[in-house]
Amino acid sequence: MSSLVTGSDRPTASHHPEAWVAIAPARVNLIGEHTDYTGGYVLPMAISFSTTATITAANDGKYHFKTSMSAEERTMDPHDRSERIGHWSDYVIGVLRQFQTLNIEPTPFVLELRGDVPLGAGLSSSASVEIATAQAIATFSGKSFMAEALAVLCQRAENQYVGSPCGIMDQFVVAAARAQHALLLNTRDLTYEFLPMNRAALASCRIVVANSMMKHSIADGDYGIRRREVEAGQAIMRNTYPNLRDLGDATLTQLESCRGWMTKESYHRCRHIISENGRVLEAKAAMMCGDPVQLGKVMTLAHASERDDFECSIDEIDFLVETALELPGCYGARLTGGGFGGCTVNLVEAVEAERFSQALQRAYRGRFNLSAETYICAAVDGATVRPASEQTARDSQS
């Protein structure tokens, strides 16, 4: 695991008590859902919600974890190796544990988190917390990680300590994103490329995220059940086709040949993932041509697959998608994130974005008596870190 410590593409800190501030964005996934734990493709972008982690030296020999989102703090001895306790700090301490497995033992510190990423909305609040925390601890400890390595470390923290079976997408884009671009990631080998969000007619479009306000957590049961169904189907396909590494290699023809040995659930889950990989590549082609019509069409097809094959949508989300597609200026809409609540992502003409948002909110309130939040989003850079004094100066100028 020591290979995770790499050459730097970030500032390196001396080992001293200066305060550091790390800022990590949220993300929205344009297309490529539930493909990131089966060697497939994803196409997310970072958005301007963020988590800020400020780290300073502690003078009492302990680690302190605080957040503006909760009055509950946590303090622990550096030699403490206790397991998760079902507390918000599990996400932070899980990251610390990963550093400790690399024999990186930070000196005592105070880590304070604040942020505005909507919780439970499918916009990667947990990955934002993890990456901000990791960047802060690494810099404070005088260590330097490439964005890719930082993402892997944080995924392991969530998988192994928090107990959430997430894939690599969220942490990767939060760490590595580029402004005005989406990030096309091959989740098997972590190769990636940036696709422009402002080419040709796409330049006149905006990404509008609609928050159903129906909370979800991928640490809960439904996500885990779906993942086990996928993995069972994948295992059957690999037994039949020994050269098949995972569903990222699979074809729908191969899936059909294995259908008789699978449960109905595994077949449908695998069909979603295999077809979704194809849709991600179609989305890439549309973006490279700057074609919002084709991109919107592929996004909408992706939602139908999530709804019918993966069965991770809910009535509120389906209503938001169906309503969006009837509104002026909307090219496409789909569920984004793990599902079972959360948000939709919509491709909308810029001149219609405000009216679209208001109309969608009115319709949702009329149908469910709930107030949906909408966010008109731009693609932003991934995580950054700088001395707290520099961040204070930036804040005072803004």
Write out the catalytic residue numbers.
170
Spell out the residues 6+ positions from residue 346 whose beta carbon is closer than 8 angstroms to its own: 207, 208, 209, 210, 324, 330, 332, 333, 356, 360
One-letter amino acid identity for 244?
L
Coil, strand, or helix at residue 268?
Answer: helix
How many CA atoms lie less than 13 Å away from 133 in the CB half-sphere? 34
Of the candidates 106, 105, 284, which has an alpha carbon nearest to the alpha carbon of residue 192? Answer: 284
Which DSSP category does 43 fall into? E
Cα–Cα distance, 246 to 326 (Å, whole number): 38
Q: Is residue 327 a contact partner of residue 360, using CB atoms and an 8 Å limit?
A: yes
- Cα(119)–Cα(34) distance, rounded to whole angstroms? 20
CA separation for the pair 282, 296 (Å, rounded): 11
Q: Is the dihedral of CA 242, 275, 123, 85 positive or negative?
A: negative
3-class SS of residue 220:
coil
